[in-house]
Chain A
Amino acid sequence: MMQRSRPYRRVFLLALASAVLVQETFAQATLAQEGQRTFSSGYRFVEMSGEELYNNVCRGCHMSDAGGATGAGSYPSLAANSNLESPGYPITLVVHGRRAMPPFGGMMSDAQVAAVVNYVRTHFGNNYRDMVTAQDVSEARR
C-alpha cells in the first residue's frame, strides 16, 4: 500500500509547490502594486499628510476618485463639489460627523483635519486655494 501510493504523493507535492508559488506571487503582486502603507497603532491616526489621510481613511467611503457610492444610502461625491467652497463646512463634517459620516475629531489632530480638508479642496476637480489652518479646526471643535 505504502509503496504504491508514493509516486502519487510526489506528484501531489509538486502540484502543491506550484500552487504555493502562484499564491505567493499573487499576494506579493497585490502588495507591490499597492506599495507601502502606513498603519496606525491605536485609536488615533498616525498619517499626517492630506494625501495619505485621504487614501487611508476617506477613500473607504468616498472612493479613489472621490466620486462617492450609492447603496441603500449614499456617500456623497466630493469631486467638483461646491459645498466645499466654504471651508467651515468640510471642517465641521470631519470633526463632528453627520448622518453616515463618522466624527473624526477624536481620531485626528487639528493639523491632520486641516491637511485632509486642504487636500480635498484642491483635488478631484476642486480648486479652492484659501488654505485652512489648524487654528480654524481648533475653533470648529468648540
Chain B
Amino acid sequence: MRASRRTGGGLKNTRMQDETAGVTRRDLLSLIGAMAGSAAMYHAMTSLGFAAESRYQGPIKLGGDPKGASVLVLGAGLAGMTAALELRNAGYQVQVLEFNKRAGGRNWTIRGGDSFTELGGATQNCDFQPGLYLNPGPWRIPYHHRALLDYCKRLNVVLEPFNQLNHNAYLHSVSAFGGAPQRIRAVRADFQGHVSELLAKATRQGKLGEAVTKEDQEILLQALRFWGALDRDYQYSASLDASAVRGFAAPPGGGLAALPVPSEPVGLSDILKSGLWRHLRNFAQYNFQTTMFQPVGGMDAIGKAFAKEVGDIIRFNAKVTKIKQGDRGVTVSYIDTTNPSIQNSVTADWCVCTIPLSILSQIPLDVGSAMQAAIEALPYAASVKIGLQFKRRFWEEDDAIYGGISYTDLPIRQIAYPNSGYNRSGRGVLLGAYMFDTANAYEFTAMPPAERVARAVEFGAAIHPQYKSEFENGVAVAWHRVPFTLGCSGEWSEEGRKQHYANLCQIDGRIVLAGEHASALPAWQEGAILSALDAITRLHERVMKT
C-alpha cells in the first residue's frame, strides 16, 4: 500500500510550489522567525560551513574508456538530454527515444501559432502576439540551482531576472478589506511594524525577563525601531518614517506641493485577521529568494539549446511500450506514433530511463519488485497554468506593477506579470492562474479549456477590473491532461520517501532511472539535471567495473 500524502509536515515546508496552502498560527510564528532570525542563522551556519548553495560539483567528469558501450536514454527532457550529452562526451554510443515531436519535455513554451491537444481531444490554438508567451511548466530559476545555471552558461542560454517579489504587486483575499487588493509593500510594513511595536512594548515593560540581557534589550529596541519603522516612542504610527517603508498617502514631488503626506497604517487586528501575512512566506523561502532568473524569450530556450547538442541522436514520436533487460543488454519496444501499426525495438547495453512514473508504471518493465513498487507508489501533482493576453499592459500603465506576482485566495491563486518588455505600449500576456496541488487545480483540470480561461478572467477581474475590457485570448494547460506526463511532477510524502526513494534510485541490472521524480528537488529542473548527473556517474562506475 502506498504512503498517503499529507502525513508529517517535514517535507511540506520545503515543497516549492505549495506557496499558500494550509497556514496555521505556527506558520505565523515561523514566519516571524524567518524574517527576524534568518540573517543571524545564516552567518552562524556559513561560518560552520553548513549552508552550501548546491550539491552541484561543477561539470561532470566521466574518466576512462567505455569501449563503445551503448546507452539508450528514454525521454528527451532535461534529465534525458543531460544524460545523453554527457554520456556521448564520455565516449558512449547514445540514442534517445522521445514521445513528443519536440525535445524539452516539461521545459516548454507556448507562443502564438502553436497548437496543443490535451488528453480528451480538446485542441487550443494559441493566438498570442509574436514575442508573447506562456511557460506552462517551469518558469523561474533560483540562483542556487547551480547545475542548471552552469548548463545555461555552457549552452549559451541568455538569462534575465525573474521577479518573485514586487513590492507593488498585490495580496488579496475575498474576505479581507472588502475584497480590495493590498500592496505587498504595505502589508509587509504593517505586519512588521506592529510586531515590532508589540515586542518593543514587552521589552520596555521588562516582560522578556531573563530571556534578553539588559544590554541586549537596548540593542533590541534600536533594532525594532529600525526594522519596524517605529517612531521615537516605539509606536508604529502614521509617520513619514513608516511611510518611507509602506508608501505615502501623497508621495514627495516637485515645486509648490512637494511635501510628502504620510499614509495611515492598517491596524494590527485587521492585518492579522486578513490572513494576508501568510503570503509573505513566498518571498522569504530559500527557493524563491532573489536573484531568480528566466531565459529570455521563454523557458524552452534551455530545451532547445540542449537539443542543438543532442538533437541528432533523438528519435521523436516514439512511444515506449515495453522495457526488457537481460544479462547482455536492454531491449526497448516502441511504436512510431505517426505510423502506429509497426512495432520497433532498440537494444543497448544500458538504459537511462527518464519517463515520468505516472507513465512508466503502466509500461511492462523488467526490474525488481522493490523498484517496481517505488514506481507505482509516487502520485503526480495536479497543476494548472493559464496565460491571458490583454490589449494593453494595464498592470503597468494603471497599477505600476512591473513584473512579480500577486497572490490571492481566489481559485486562480496567483497572477504573475511578465518580467520582460517593461513599459512598452501594446499587448501583454500575464499568467492569469497558477494552481499547484490544491483542490482548485483538480477543479480547473476538469473543465474544458475555454471555460478555464473564462473562469480565470472572471476571477482575475476581482483584482484587476481592467480584465473585463482588455482581455483578448488565453491558453490553459492542466498537467493531468498533458499526454506526455499525465500529471505535473512527483509528489513525494515524507513516508513515501522513506519507503521507496532509495529503491527508485538504485541501478537495477542495466537500468537506472532519472528525472525530477528521482531527486530531492521535485518539480524543479535542477532536480532533473542533478538526478541525471548522479545516475550516469553511478552507471559509468558500473560500466568501468564490468
List residues of chain A with CB under 8 Å of any chain B CB. 16, 19-20, 23-24, 26-27, 30-31, 34, 37-46, 55-61, 63, 69-75, 96-103, 105-107
Question: Is B483 located at the chain interface by the 8 A CB criterion?
Answer: yes
Q: Which of B371-419 contact A (CB under 8 A)?
A: 376, 379-382, 391, 409, 411
User: Which residues does chain B contribute within 8 Å of A98, judged by CB atoms?
Assistant: 2, 376
Q: B484 contacts A31, CB within 8 Å?
A: no
**A1–B254 CA distance with the chains assembled, in angstroms:** 31
Specify which of B362, B382, B450 is in contact with A60 (CB 8 Å cutoff).
B382
Given contacts A71-B119, A99-B358, contact A45 B439 (CB under 8 A): yes
Contacting residues, chain B, for A101 (C-beta < 8 A)? 379
Cβ of A30 and Cβ of B450 under 8 Å apart? Answer: yes
CA distance A75 to B483 in the complex (A): 10
Q: Which of A43, A63, A75 contacts B438 (CB 8 A)?
A: A43
Answer yes or no: B5 CB below 8 A from chain A CBs: yes
Contacts of B440 in A (CB 8 A): 39-40
Contacts of B320 in A (CB 8 A): 72
Seed contacts A26-B454, A61-B119; 4 additional CB < 8 Å A-B pairs: A71-B119, A72-B359, A99-B362, A100-B358
Number of interface residues of B (CB under 8 A): 58
Proximity string of chain B (1-16) to chain A, C-beta cutoff 8 Å, 1 when within and 0 when not: 1101110000000000
B487 touches A39 (CB 8 A): no
- Complex: chain A residue closest to B470, CB-CB: A20
Contact check, B443 vs A100: say whether CB atoms are below 8 A apart: no
Check B472 against A59 for contact (C-beta < 8 Å).
no
In whole angstroms, what is the CA distance A88 to B121 when docked? 31
Partner of A34, one of B447, B472, B485: B447
Contact of B442 among A37, A57, A97 (CB under 8 A): A57
B425-469 with Cβ < 8 A to chain A: 438-440, 442-443, 445-448, 450-451, 453-455, 457-458, 468-469
Select one of A31, A37, A43, A55 contacting B22, CB under 8 A: A43
Partner of B487, one of A16, A31, A58, A100: A100
**309-364 of chain B: CB within 8 A of chain A:** 319-320, 355, 357-359, 361-363
Known: A42-B21, A42-B22, A60-B446. A31 touches B486 (CB 8 A): no
Separation of A102 and B22 alpha carbons in the complex (Å): 20
Q: Knowing A42-B439, A60-B445, A75-B486 touch, does A27 contact B471 (C-beta < 8 A)? A: yes
Seen from chain B, the residues whose Cβ lies within 8 Å of a Cβ on chain A are 1-2, 4-6, 21-22, 99, 119-121, 319-320, 355, 357-359, 361-363, 376, 379-382, 391, 409, 411, 438-440, 442-443, 445-448, 450-451, 453-455, 457-458, 468-469, 471-472, 478, 480-487, 491
A100 partner residues in chain B, CB cutoff 8 A: 358-359, 361-362, 380, 486-487
Q: Which residue of A lies closest to B99 (CB)?
A: A72
> How close is B487's CB to chain A, nearest CB, in angstroms?
7
Question: How many residue pairs bridge A and B at CB < 8 Å?
Answer: 136
A-B contact pairs, 23 of them (CB 8 A): A27-B454, A30-B450, A30-B453, A30-B454, A31-B454, A37-B455, A39-B439, A43-B6, A43-B21, A45-B442, A59-B446, A63-B120, A71-B99, A71-B119, A71-B484, A72-B99, A75-B119, A75-B486, A97-B2, A99-B362, A100-B358, A100-B487, A103-B379
Say whether A72 contacts B484, CB under 8 Å: yes
Task: Say which residue of A27, A57, A73, A103 sits within 8 Å of B358 (CB atoms).
Answer: A73
- Are B120's CB and A106's CB within 8 A? no
CB of A66, distance to nearest CB on chain B (Å): 12
Contacting residues, chain A, for B22 (C-beta < 8 A): 42-43
* A73 to B358 CA separation, bound complex (whole angstroms): 8
Chain A residues, Cβ within 8 Å of B120: 63, 69
Q: Which of A24, A38, A72, A105 contacts B486 (CB 8 A)?
A: A72
For A32, the closest partner residue in chain B by CB is B454
User: Which B-chain residue is minimally distant from A33 (CB atoms)?
Assistant: B451
CA distance A50 to B409 in the complex (A): 26
Known A99-B362, A100-B487; judge A39-B443 contact (CB<8 A): yes
| Residues of chain B contacted by A105 (CB below 8 angstroms) | 4
Contact (A103, B5) CB under 8 Å given A30-B454, A60-B481, A72-B319: yes
Also in contact, A24 and B379, with CB within 8 A (given A34-B451, A39-B440, A69-B120):
no
A140 to B433, CA, bound (A): 35
Question: Which of chain B's residues has its CB closest to A92's CB?
Answer: B1
Cβ of B454: which chain A residues have Cβ within 8 Å of it? 26-27, 30-31
Which residues on the B side are within 8 Å of A41 (C-beta)?
409
Cα A101 to Cα B478 with chains together (Å): 15
CB pair A73–B362 under 8 Å, yes or no, is: yes
User: In the complex, A74 Cα to B483 Cα: how many Å?
Assistant: 9
**Shortest Cβ-Cβ A-B pairs, 6 listed:** A71-B483, A40-B439, A60-B445, A73-B359, A69-B119, A99-B361
Residues of A within 8 A of B484 (CB): 71-72
- Cα–Cα distance between A42 and B379 once the two chains are bound (Å): 19
Complex CA gap A98/B538 in Å reads 29
Least Cβ–Cβ distance between A125 and chain B, in angstroms:
18
Question: What residues of chain A lie closer than 8 Å to B357, measured between beta carbons?
Answer: 99
Q: With a CB–CB cut-off of 8 A, which chain B residues contact A46?
A: 439
Q: Which of A23, A58, A97 sits near B471, CB closer than 8 Å?
A: A23
| Nearest opposing residue in chain B for A41, CB measure | B409
Name the B residues within 8 Å of A27 (CB-CB). 454, 457-458, 471
CB distance from B274 to the nearest CB of A (A): 15
Partner of A31, one of B2, B4, B451: B451
Which A residues touch B491, using CB under 8 A? 102
User: Do A57 and B446 touch across chains, with their CB atoms under 8 A apart?
Assistant: yes
Contacts of B358 in A (CB 8 A): 73, 99-100
Which one of A56, A71, A75 lies within 8 Å of B443 (CB-CB)? Answer: A56
B483 touches A72 (CB 8 A): yes
Across the two chains, which residue of chain B brings its CB closest to A17?
B469
Min CB gap B106→A, angstroms: 13
**CB-based contact B380/A37 at 8 Å:** no
Residues of B with C-beta under 8 A to A106: 4-6
Contact call A73/B4, Cβ cutoff below 8 A: no
A142 and chain B: residue at smallest CB distance: B1
Contact partner of B439 among A24, A69, A107, CB < 8 A?
A: A107
A56:B446 contact, CB within 8 angstroms: yes
Q: Which A residue sits closest to B391, measured CB to CB?
A: A16
Question: How far is A41 from B451 in the complex, measured between Cα atoms in Å?
Answer: 19
